[in-house]
Amino acid sequence: MNKPESPDPSASKASMHFDPVIDPATAAELQRRYAQEFTALWQQMLTAQVPPVADRRFANPAWQSSTLHAFNAASYLLNAKFLAEMADAIQVPPKAKQKIRFTLEQMVNAMSPANFLFSNPEAQQKIIETKGESLTTGLTNLFKDIQKGRISQSDESAFEVGRNVAITEGAVIFENELFQLLQYKPLTATVYERPVLLVPPCINKYYILDLQPHNSFVRYAVEQGFTVFLVSWRNADASIAGATWDDYIEKGVLQAIDVVQAISAQEKINVLGFCVGGTLLTSALALACARGKKPAASLTLLTTFLDFSDTGILNVYIDEEKVKETEQSIGHGGLMKGLDFNAAFASLRSNELIWNYVTSHYLKGENPAPFDMLYWNADSTNLPGPMYCWYLRNTYLENNLKQLDKFKLAGKKIDFGKIDVPSFIYASREDHIVPWTSAYASTHILNRKKPQQNFFVLGASGHIAGVINPPSSSKRHYWINDKAAGGNDDDALSWLADATEVAGSWWPAWIDFLKKQAGKQIKAPDKVGNPQFTAIEAAPGRYVKVKAS
C-alpha cells in the first residue's frame, strides 16, 4: 500500500559511493565478544550440552533433538547478531546505514538453517513420518508456485471474488476508464442523509474493506444506517498505461464525489481514504478547495501518509537514482507490475512473508490454509507508469505534498491546511508501511486553523490487521485521547503518553464520529442510483475481478 522521504543531506549522499568506516576500537570489541561467545558455544557442543535457542524459527523440539541441530541454530543466531552489530557500527550517513542493515537482514534471513532441507530437522522428521509424502507434496507446491511466479500464502481455491468475498449487496452505478463506483443496498429502514464515500488504495483491490460478512468494513457501515459508496479502481492495463496522478484525482476521486453528491442530493458528503487512497483523497479535497469548493462534511484517513518525512523501512527502496531509472522505464507510459509490488512488500518482513512459507510449504509439504486477508494480499494490481512515477518522486523522494500553498496539482496551488472539516485519523501501532507517528503528523497538516477538529485513534497490530478488526471478533485494542491532536506543542509520543487504552475494535468509535457529521435520518431508498446514474451491473463489478498480468 505506501513508501520514502524528504530530501536531506543523508538522502542525497545515500546514492553516492563512499568507503564505509568502522572505528577500530569498536570493531575490536565486537570481535572479542563474538570470539568469547562462540568459544562458549563450541564448548557446549563438545560436552554434548544442548544450547538454548530463543527464536520462533527453531521452537520445534526437533531442533533440540541433537546437539548438532541446536548448535547450528545457536551459531546461526550468534553470527546474525555479530553481523547486525557490525552493520550498526559502520560510520555512514543514516540512509546508507538503513540500506546496509536491510540488505544484511535479507541475506541473514535467507541463510537460516531452517530454510534448507539438509539442515532442518523438522523437515527431515516429516519425510520419515510420512514415508516421503511430505517431500513429494513440497515439490508439487514449489512447482505450482514457480508457475504462478510467487509464493502461495493461502489456499486460493477457497475464495472467489463475488462468491464468498466482496459479497455485500449493491451495484455499479458509474464507471469510466479508471474506476467503477459501487453503491451498496441499505440494510436499515432509515439511513443518514449524508452518505459516505470510501476511497481504497489503488495499489490493492478494494475488497480488503469487504471480505466476508463477519469482517466486512463496508457491511458494518451499512448496518449502522449509512449509505455507502465505494471506488473500485481498475487493474491497470495497456489502455490506461499513460494515466497520471492528476487523472486519478480528476477522473477518479473528484468524479466519484460528483456522482455521490448527485445521487444523494447532498452538497457535502463524508469521505474516507485508506492508505494511498487517503493521499489521493486529501489531494483531491485540497484541489477542490483551491477551486472554491468544499464537498466534504468530514474526512477519515486510515493508515495514510500526508507527510512523507519518515517512511520507515520502505525508504530503502527510494533514492534519486532508482526513481530516475523508473521514470525512464515507465514514466512516459507503461505499467508498474503488481507482482513487483508484492515482492517488495514481502521483503520488508521476509521471515514472516517469504521464508515461513518456504519451510512450511516446500520443505515440510504443508498445504497453505485458507485465509481471506492473504488471498486478498496475493490478488495484485498494476499501476500506470506515469501515475506511479509522479507518486514516487513527489511523495517518498521529495515530500512535496506538504509544501503548503507552494505545490501545484492540475495547475492549482494546494494547501492541505485549508481542509477544515472534522477529521478522523487512524493509525496502527505496529504498521511497518505507514509508521504510526507519520500518520499522526497529519494532525499538524489538516485543519490548520481548527486543529481541535482532528480526532486521532491509534489501533493495535499492523497496516491491514489493525484496520480490519471488526467488533464481533473481540480482538485487540486501541488508544484515544480526549486532548485534541495537532496542537502546537503536541507530538505523537506525548499524545500516546496521555492516551487511554480501550479494549476491542475501533470501528464503533469511527461510527460515533461519523454520526455527528451525517445529518438527519431519512427513509432508506428503494433502489441504488438515480435516473441519471442507474445500475450497470451487480457488485462487486467487473473491474475488481481482473487479474494482474
| DSSP single-letter state for residue 243 | -
User: Among 217, 196, 231, 205, which residue's Cα sits nearest to residue 465?
Assistant: 217
Contacts of 104 (CB under 8 A, 6+ apart): 83, 84, 87
Residue carrying the nine cell digits 517431500: 135
Burial 384-404 (b: 16+ CB within 10 A, else e): bbbbbbbbbbbbbbbbbbbbe
Contacts of 46 (CB under 8 A, 6+ apart): none
Q: Which of 202, 275, 289, 389 does the annotation list as catalytic?
A: 275
Contact 248, 179 (CB under 8 A): no
Say whether 275 is catalytic.
yes
Q: Phi and psi for 183 in degrees, rounded to 5?
A: -120, 130
* DSSP letters spanning 279-340: HHHHHHHHHHHHTT---EEEEEEES--S--S--GGGGGG--HHHHHHHHHHHTTS-EE-HHH
Which sign, positive or negative, has the C-alpha torsion 532, 536, 539, 545?
Answer: negative
- Half-sphere exposure for 430 (CA within 13 Å, toward CB): 11
User: Among 43, 46, 76, which residue's Cα sits nearest to residue 58?
Assistant: 76
User: Among 187, 135, 156, which residue's Cα sits nearest to residue 365?
Assistant: 135
Residue carrying the nine cell digits 540512509: 95
Active site positions, annotated: 275
